[in-house]
Amino acid sequence: MTTKQDYYTLDDFNFKDKTVLLRVDTNCPLSKEDLSIVNDVRIRAVTPTVRELIGKRAKLVIIAHQSRKGKWDCTGLEQHAKRLSKNLNIPVKYVDDVIGDKAKQAIMDLKPGEILMLGNVRTMDSETAKLDMVGHSEGEIVKALAPLIDYYVCDAFGAAHRSQCSLVGFPLKVPSASGRLMARELYALRSIFDNPRRPSVFILGGAKFGDVPHMIDVVMEHGMVDTVIIVGLAGNAFLYARGVDIGEASSAILKDELTPENIEIAKQVMTKYGQHILLPVDVAVERDGKRVSVNIGDMPTKEPALDIGDLSIDKFQKVIESSKTSFMSGPAGMFEKPGFEMGTKGLMEAMVNSKGLSVIGGGHTASAAEKFDYADRMSYLSTGGGALETFLLREPLPVIEALKESKKRFPAD
């Protein structure tokens, strides 16, 4: 049976006794102290697909990434395999190798119903080469693993906006399908955002200020949002672009993001949509070991701004509580640091108290929602951060484009 979409799903193939390569996004926040997994929401999110493939007696090989090469949290995936095994209550073998003899042998030794997880694909430079799906389909990971597999399944919604070898290379070489998480995310996000209930408010935080102005421009242009609240480091950057002297300590944290180009785009967006954009009216700094709120008019501070201040929390809560759709991507401050979780926690509290739909985007924001016990009270928790933003920008997701191409090349079973 062929599904109606322009790409295949798990319903289109017979996986019994076949070797299936499953790409997931189990990129997790890790502890700086011992590199252990702090939150496994993304691992839990892919268990339905894993369970289904094992139930269908596939020989299952899982590939994934953790962080980016050169970063402190770019580790192997042994603990991810253990966590997956614990969640499923089924053994998951692990080989710290992606395309070498150890990995190949382990794949060939798999029996139906068994699971093998390979090493972090981002340890390989070819994974992140700047290529399109055609270029990546000739990449070394595809060349090494495609001959050993019958099907490729992509359930890595969180990385669906990346054109990387293990994400877009295989669909051109083997029959490929989307997994259940991918389908669930796309369905839920379309139903919430294609025609959002009004008024709708987007809370954009986190550290990636460079992406925020463009995002505001597009969502405003498409009339998807009534109010945009900008918090976190992105909020500090917008204050800077508006001419507020945020102080050397706060600007130093943002140095890579505060490029003349980013500042100019932020200014343009504020001129165009200023009446819809809310910036913090105060920030929180650490002074003598305590959280202290400082009004914007009293800046600069010599300490870095680590959270939005108490007046901002109060003001933003009122807007969020009266919304019918609220969406948060990126925390409002350094929520891991005691005292500086108040912004993130306060805004999430308003989201769950509102009578509308509440949506959280991104692994780290979802992990904060779980930490503060709001996760179960949100309408929807997406595993996608950048992927969700790309979806909201109405730009094509490279993974979906590759899966569509696969359907053109290969028949269903």
**How many CA atoms lie within 13 Å of 173's alpha carbon, on the beta-carbon side?**
26
Which of 83-91, 144-152, 156-164, 198-206 is the region at the interface with ligand 3PG (rule: CB under 6 A)? 156-164
Give the C-alpha distances (Å, rounded to integers) separating 356 from 195, 222, 272: 14, 20, 27
The pair phi, psi for residue 393, each rounded to 5°, is -80, 0
Q: Which of 129, 115, 132, 220 is nearest to 169 (CA)?
A: 132
DSSP H helices in 59-210: 78-88, 101-109, 133-136, 140-145, 180-193
**Residue 302 CB coordination number (10 Å):** 10
Which of 155-163, 269-277, 304-312, 405-413 is the region at the interface with ligand 3PG (rule: CB under 6 A)? 155-163
Please report how close the Cβ of residue 362 comes to ligand 3PG at its closest, in angstroms: 6
Q: Which is nearer to ligand 3PG, 68 or 197 (CB)?
A: 68
Site for ligand 3PG in 109-138 (CB under 6 A): none
Residue 232: strand, helix, or coil: helix
**Between 6 and 25, how does the x/- string for binding to ligand 3PG read (CB under 6 A)?**
-------------------x
Q: Which is nearer to ligand 3PG, 280 or 385 (CB)?
A: 385
DSSP per residue, 172-186: GTS-EEE-HHHHHHH
**Between 364 and 403, how does the x/- string for binding to ligand 3PG read (CB under 6 A)?**
---------------------xx-----------------
CA dist 245 and 250 (Å) reads 10
Selected from 56, 136, 162, 345, the binder of ligand 3PG by CB under 6 A is: 162
Q: Which is nearer to ligand 3PG, 41 or 224 (CB)?
A: 41
Please report how close the Cβ of residue 128 comes to ligand 3PG at its closest, in angstroms: 8
Please report how close the Cβ of residue 260 comes to ligand 3PG at its closest, in angstroms: 24
CA dist 232 and 240 (Å) reads 13
Q: Which of 321, 322, 317, 324 is nearest to 343 (CA)?
A: 317
Please report how close the Cβ of residue 120 comes to ligand 3PG at its closest, in angstroms: 12
Q: Is 68 in the site for ligand 3PG (CB under 6 A)?
A: yes
Residue 128: strand, helix, or coil: helix
Please report how close the Cβ of residue 266 comes to ligand 3PG at its closest, in angstroms: 21
Which of 43-51, 134-142, 158-166, 398-406 is the region at the interface with ligand 3PG (rule: CB under 6 A)? 158-166
Q: Is 206 in the site for ligand 3PG (CB under 6 A)?
A: no
Q: Which is nearer to ligand 3PG, 233 or 294 (CB)?
A: 233
Selected from 139, 304, 363, 398, the binder of ligand 3PG by CB under 6 A is: 363
Q: Give the helix/strand (H/E) hosting 392.
A: helix 386-392
Please report how close the Cβ of residue 68 comes to ligand 3PG at its closest, in angstroms: 5
Q: Is 159 in the site for ligand 3PG (CB under 6 A)?
A: yes
Cβ atoms of 232 and 209 within 8 Å: the answer is no
Q: What is the dihedral of CA 290, 277, 384, 87, to 10 degrees?
A: 40
**How many CA atoms lie within 13 Å of 127's alpha carbon, on the beta-carbon side?**
20
Please report how close the Cβ of residue 385 comes to ligand 3PG at its closest, in angstroms: 4
Q: Which is nearer to ligand 3PG, 56 or 162 (CB)?
A: 162
Q: Is 160 in the site for ligand 3PG (CB under 6 A)?
A: no
Please report how close the Cβ of residue 182 comes to ligand 3PG at its closest, in angstroms: 14
Site for ligand 3PG in 23-52 (CB under 6 A): 25, 27
Q: Is 99 in the site for ligand 3PG (CB under 6 A)?
A: no
Q: Is 205 in the site for ligand 3PG (CB under 6 A)?
A: no
Q: Which of 146, 79, 139, 52 is nearest to 107 (CA)?
A: 146
Identity of the amino acid at 133: M
DSSP E strands in 31-148: the ranges are 59-64, 93-94, 115-120
Q: Which is nearer to ligand 3PG, 73 or 286 (CB)?
A: 73
In our burial notation (b when 16+ CB lie closer than 10 A, e otherwise), range 243-263 reads ebebbeebbebbeebbeeebb
CA dist 39 and 16 (Å) reads 33
What residues line the site for ligand 3PG (CB under 6 A)? Answer: 25, 27, 68, 158-159, 162, 363, 385-386
